[in-house]
Structure 1
């Protein structure tokens, strides 16, 4: 996710998508507060989402967690014990999920999102958590700004912090690909672990800009992307990388594989990249409203749901039929 700190101005709003974490100049939010049920929550800044079976879950500013069980036609806002901006969500199955965000809050649900419990927070650290991943019901990781790396072995009830690098660059996204873990980070850094996160190898895509996401394509291919439309491919677990032309200098924020097998990467300024050859080439489309996309989700009925600085909306299927 784009983890850029900026004051909340019109310019920041234009670039505030899932991979952007907004640093508010106001006093820190007290995360023990309960999120306010807001009639316009579906139009607020939303930063991440996940589909679990027939359910969609999205998260964003002011502690908003929204759930849809009708393919995005309607949304229910959850009661949440924080007003901190929430940056990432991860469900291991239909019942068990976790959310992270500013103030280093970590929330857990054991009932599919009907209720949420605050299991960790550290507002004094002033470094938001930006992504979360669980390998099974008990073992998980939360990563974030300034090199924050937390690990849990008890389903998120407790967390242990450590450093995986001598640098304090922001760790933006963590994914599991087979038995390996990968992290996309800022300043051209990416990491791989071959032993469930105990040790990390620095990868070298030969680029100095930030990476906001890493996406596993088919046949063990990795797509690594971020600032100024840069996108790198690796077919050997990150040992070597090649570049792919995207046709845009907009920052790229997230990737999704649609049910038809195509890959879609979205970004700022309404950028949508579609690939029908496993990421070797991409066709560029620009949303006419130039939305700042943070994430796309495909509902069970194949509806495409977009979230970002505009909230949540459905997109036309025609956008994804570009050859």
Structure 2
């Protein structure tokens, strides 16, 4: 059964509530703004932050019932958000923009990233150590909580769509044309991994150094149980592009994507069940804090 601590994100936000005997999705309207939103994160059951087009950053302090628009944000398209602590957040986006908040999203400052390439994803496995990836093989790393960033070299020319680290050293990048790369050295060395398909991947999620999933074009889902040495295809039952994935345990996971697609598994992905989303829009981001 779903919990209230889940939010989905697209141009507007949908929220999931516990319902006896069935799973249900309820639409929420994050007024007073109407820009497309790209990424959402929950700090706890009540405090939520979302980012999107035109430098939009909105926050909620009542679990998504009402929203506040942050002021004085550069007018750039923000694509990804990471929570470092209950008060610290980092957002990234087009033009290599990096924004940092130290008051739970109320105020933001611009941080130099050293690149003008779009940054598609940012993730902090630890409060001080974070990674961001984007266009034209861009990989950035910080070791001081996002105040300073430096470039990592992968040796691959591609567009990188997502990054996920399970600790400060071990992580994966996914990108266009079936790209998966892994590191065990904090990004100083990268190794290519292969699924046998050329569809682009847009999201990755690992619950340990061995077990993880990647999702992407044409409903593609792949799982590994050995850190990516071997990837096994799972059947999604859809052909829509899958944009985001999160597992809260070895068995329980959720995927969202184009055409309002929401998929849910309770057996590690052996079977995926479509959920009713009440929308045909693209679902770009999701975040659980308790499954």
Q: TM-score, normalised by structure 1?
A: 0.75
**Residues 128-161 of structure 1 deviation map (CA, whole Å, 9 limit, x = unaligned):** 1111122333322221011111222232222222
Is it true that 1:99 corresponds to 2:91 in the alignment? yes
Equivalent in the alignment of 2:198: 208
Higher RCO (CA < 8 A, seq sep 6+) = 1
Cα deviation, residue 82, structure 1: 0.6
Equivalent in the alignment of 1:295: 285
The answer to whether the 8 Å contact 1:65/1:80 transfers is: no
* Aligned counterparts, 1:84-163, within 5 A: 84-120=76-112, 125=116, 127-163=117-153
Cα deviation, residue 216, structure 1: 2.0
The alpha-carbon distance between structure 1 residues 156 and 187, as it changes in their structure 2 partners (threshold 3 A), is same
* Structure 2 gap segments, 5+ residues each: 1-8, 12-29
Q: Distance in 2 between matches of 1:157 and 1:219?
A: 27
Q: Distance in 1 between matches of 2:289 and 2:156?
A: 41
Equivalent in the alignment of 2:26: none
RMSD between superposed Cα atoms in Å = 2.5
Cα deviation, residue 278, structure 1: 1.6
Q: Distance in 2 between matches of 1:191 and 1:147?
A: 12
Q: Distance in 2 between matches of 1:197 and 1:276?
A: 32
Q: Distance in 2 between matches of 1:159 and 1:145?
A: 16
SS of structure 1 residue aligned to 2:140: strand
Equivalent in the alignment of 2:74: 82
Cα deviation, residue 244, structure 1: 0.8
SS of structure 2 residue aligned to 1:247: coil
Relative to total residues, which structure has the larger helix share, 1 or 2?
Answer: 1
Is it true that 1:181 corresponds to 2:195 in the alignment? no
Cα deviation, residue 122, structure 1: 6.0
Equivalent in the alignment of 1:171: 160
* Aligned counterparts, 1:1-323, within 5 A: 40-41=32-33, 43-54=34-45, 55-120=47-112, 125=116, 127-167=117-157, 169-178=158-167, 179-217=169-207, 220-257=210-247, 262-285=252-275, 287-298=277-288
Q: Distance in 1 between matches of 2:257 and 2:243?
A: 5
The alpha-carbon distance between structure 1 residues 296 and 138, as it changes in their structure 2 partners (threshold 3 A), is closer
The worse-fitting range, judged by mean Cα deviation, of 52-61 and 98-107 is: 52-61
The alpha-carbon distance between structure 1 residues 136 and 263, as it changes in their structure 2 partners (threshold 3 A), is closer
Q: Distance in 2 between matches of 1:163 and 1:218?
A: 24
Cα deviation, residue 184, structure 1: 1.2
The worse-fitting range, judged by mean Cα deviation, of 174-183 and 211-220 is: 211-220
The alpha-carbon distance between structure 1 residues 298 and 214, as it changes in their structure 2 partners (threshold 3 A), is closer
Cα deviation, residue 299, structure 1: 7.3
The alpha-carbon distance between structure 1 residues 219 and 177, as it changes in their structure 2 partners (threshold 3 A), is closer
Cα deviation, residue 218, structure 1: 7.0
The alpha-carbon distance between structure 1 residues 200 and 258, as it changes in their structure 2 partners (threshold 3 A), is closer
Q: TM-score, normalised by structure 2?
A: 0.82
The alpha-carbon distance between structure 1 residues 140 and 286, as it changes in their structure 2 partners (threshold 3 A), is same
The answer to whether the 8 Å contact 2:70/2:106 transfers is: yes
The answer to whether the 8 Å contact 2:202/2:216 transfers is: yes
